[in-house]
C-alpha cells in the first residue's frame, strides 16, 4: 500500500511539473540578458549605453547603464539598482521608466542587502541586477 501511495505521489508531482508558465515553476528562469533585451534595450540600447529605439519619444535620455559603478565611486550599488528597477522609490521616482510586471512573476529567492538584511525578491529581478553588474566598465 505504501509503495502504491509513493508511486501515485510521484506521478502527481510529475504532472504538476508539466504545468508551467513561461517563467514559473518547472521552466528554466530567464537570464538577465534575456530580461534586459525584452524590457530594457528599447530605451537603454542593446549595449546598455543608451540610444535605444524608443529614445526619440522620451523627454529624459535613458542612462548609460554600463557606468552605474563609475557614477557611484567605483562600487556597483546593487540594492539601489534593484530598488530602481522594481520601483521601490514610488511612482515618478524614475522619470519615464515603466513598471515591468513580468519581473515580479515566478519564483522568489532571498536577496541579501549590502547591510546583511535578507528579503524575498523575484528571481528575475535578481538576474537582471546581476546582469547589469556584469556590464560595468
Asked whether 23 and 124 are in contact (CB, 8 A), the reply is: yes
Q: What is the pTM of this model?
A: 0.76
Dig out the grid coordinates for 43 from the structure: 530605451
Taking residues 5-20, report their average pLDDT. Answer: 36
Distance CA 6, CA 88 (A): 45
pLDDT above 90 for 24: no
pLDDT above 70 for 119: yes
Give the lowest-confidence range in 11-20, 35-44, 123-132.
Answer: 11-20
Dig out the grid coordinates for 101 from the structure: 510586471
Q: What was the pLDDT predicted at 7?
A: 38
Asked whether 79 and 114 are in contact (CB, 8 A), the reply is: yes
Q: Model confidence over 62-117: pLDDT tens digits? A: 999 999 999 999 999 999 999 888 876 555 445 667 777 678 778 999 999 999 99
Residue (of 136, 124, 122, 121) closest to 37 by Cα position:
124
Q: Model confidence over 27-42: pLDDT tens digits? A: 788 999 999 999 999 9
- CA distances from residue 76 to 66, 89, 91, 94, 108 in whole angstroms, order as listed: 10, 18, 24, 18, 22
Q: What was the pLDDT predicted at 90?
A: 53
Decide which of 40 and 15 is more confident.
40
> Going by C-beta distance under 8 Å and a sequence separation of 6 or more, which residues neighbour residue 137?
66, 67, 70
pLDDT band at 22 (very low <50, low <70, confident <90, very high): very low
Amino acid at each position: 500500500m505504501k509503495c502504491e501511495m509513493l508511486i501515485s505521489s510521484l506521478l502527481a508531482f510529475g504532472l504538476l511539473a508539466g504545468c508551467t508558465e513561461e517563467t514559473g515553476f518547472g521552466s528554466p528562469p530567464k537570464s538577465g540578458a534575456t530580461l534586459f533585451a525584452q524590457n530594457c534595450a528599447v530605451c537603454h540600447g542593446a549595449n546598455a549605453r543608451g540610444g535605444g529605439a524608443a529614445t526619440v519619444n522620451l523627454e529624459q535620455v535613458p542612462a548609460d547603464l554600463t557606468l552605474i559603478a563609475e557614477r557611484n565611486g567605483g562600487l556597483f550599488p546593487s540594492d539601489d539598482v534593484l530598488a530602481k528597477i522594481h520601483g521601490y522609490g514610488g511612482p515618478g521616482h524614475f522619470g519615464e521608466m515603466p513598471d515591468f510586471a513580468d519581473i515580479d512573476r515566478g519564483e522568489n529567492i532571498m536577496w541579501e542587502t549590502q547591510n546583511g538584511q535578507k528579503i524575498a525578491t523575484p528571481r528575475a529581478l535578481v538576474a537582471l541586477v546581476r546582469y547589469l553588474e556584469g556590464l560595468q566598465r
